[in-house]
Amino acid sequence: MSDFHWYPGHMAKAKRAILEDLKLIDVVIELTDARAPLSSRNPDINNMANGKGRIMVMSKSDLAEPSGNDSWTQYFKDEGLDAACVDMKSGSGMKRIRSLLMDAAEKKHEKDKRKGIRMQRPVRALVCGIPNVGKSTFINSMAKRNVAKTGNRPGVTKGKQWITVSKGIELLDSPGLLWPKIEDEKAALNLALLGSMNDEAINIERLVGELISIMAERYPGILSGMYGVSAGDDATAVLSKMAGSLNMLQKGGEPDLDRARQFLLDSFRNGNYGRMTLELP
């Protein structure tokens, strides 16, 4: 989980660092969380990576709903961005990423050829994204060993190392760090639910209220099956029933809503309720 507080100075530093890295590379591999792909991306990369080859990788697809994964893959394709979902716990989807990367490199070679440039070096790629989207895990998975240097501090001095991931393609070993773009409360809540934002910055009642309303609307079977919640129960009624069925009671026998709230949040984050997507295109 990210423990990084974003202040304007940090964002400016991160932006400078990523712009420096972008000078060295041909292809940008943008990572986002499949459970909330818009909330967990910073679209400023579109401007910063202008002219580069691009691919979009949605990580943690094992935690997101399969039909949501398909909708988002299509959404990004419609936006002109080749996209794919990966589950880095099992490695599922990584083959497809290699082939997208080869395609992006091929396109780059073709473009250079038309301009009369003969590429003297391998195509170079940079992984980038906001904290906690799986950048280091992705680099290690591509490299098939632990190489990724942590990139969760902007402006950390680091020697650049290139990892050969396929014939003619190299990946920078340290990811480009983007700052979260929080455009509305919904995005902030999604990021907090994913554990990509400091909890103390957010009101837990509001956070769990949002989770309950998403579950009630899209995954009603979970709350009714596990805790006997009925359709139409408000957040307090849901938490009360949960606390009752889990025997989370205060001294006087009253349901302990705070414990139920924390339990619901932790269970969601640990994937105990199965695959859930927080936002759809």
**Going by DSSP bridges, is the β-strand pair 123-129/176-177 parallel, antiparallel, or unpaired?**
parallel
Supply the minimum distance, in Å, between the C-beta of residue 172 and ligand G4P: 13
CB under 8 Å to 154, separation ≥6 — which residues? Answer: 10, 11, 13, 14, 16, 17, 177
Q: Per CB under 6 A, does 32 bind ligand G4P?
A: no
What is the amino acid identity at position 93? G
Supply the minimum distance, in Å, between the C-beta of residue 62 and ligand G4P: 5
Q: How far apart are alpha carbons 182 and 43 in whole angstroms?
A: 11
Q: How far apart are alpha carbons 117 and 260 in whole angstroms?
A: 62
How many residues comprise the chain?
281
Helix, strand, coil distribution of the chain in percent, nearest 5 = 45, 15, 40
Q: Per CB under 6 A, does 21 bind ligand G4P?
A: no
Residue closer to ligand G4P (CB basis): 37 or 131? 131
Which is nearest to 24 in space by CA: 49, 1, 2?
49
Which residue stretch of 7-15, 82-90, 203-211, 228-236 sits at the interface with ligand G4P (rule: CB under 6 A)? 82-90
Give the other-Cβ count within 10 Å of 205's Cβ. 14
* Footprint (CB under 6 A) of ligand G4P, residues 145-184: 152, 175
Of the candidate residues 53, 131, 176, 209, the single one contacting ligand G4P (CB under 6 A): 131
Residue closer to ligand G4P (CB basis): 133 or 211? 133
Residue closer to ligand G4P (CB basis): 95 or 111? 95
Q: Per CB under 6 A, does 69 bind ligand G4P?
A: no
Closest CB to ligand G4P belongs to which residue? 134
92 three-class SS = strand
Q: Per CB under 6 A, does 62 bind ligand G4P?
A: yes
Which is nearest to 127 in space by CA: 74, 182, 165?
165
Q: Per CB under 6 A, does 109 bind ligand G4P?
A: no
Positions of E strands within 34-122: 53-59, 83-85
Supply the minimum distance, in Å, between the C-beta of residue 79 and ligand G4P: 22
* Footprint (CB under 6 A) of ligand G4P, residues 181-240: none
Which residue stretch of 58-66, 74-82, 103-111, 226-234 sits at the interface with ligand G4P (rule: CB under 6 A)? 58-66
Q: Per CB under 6 A, does 267 bind ligand G4P?
A: no
Residue closer to ligand G4P (CB basis): 22 or 57? 57
Helix (H) or strand (E) holding 60: none
Q: Report the interface residues with ligand G4P, using CB under 6 A.
A: 59-60, 62-63, 86-89, 129, 131-137, 152, 175
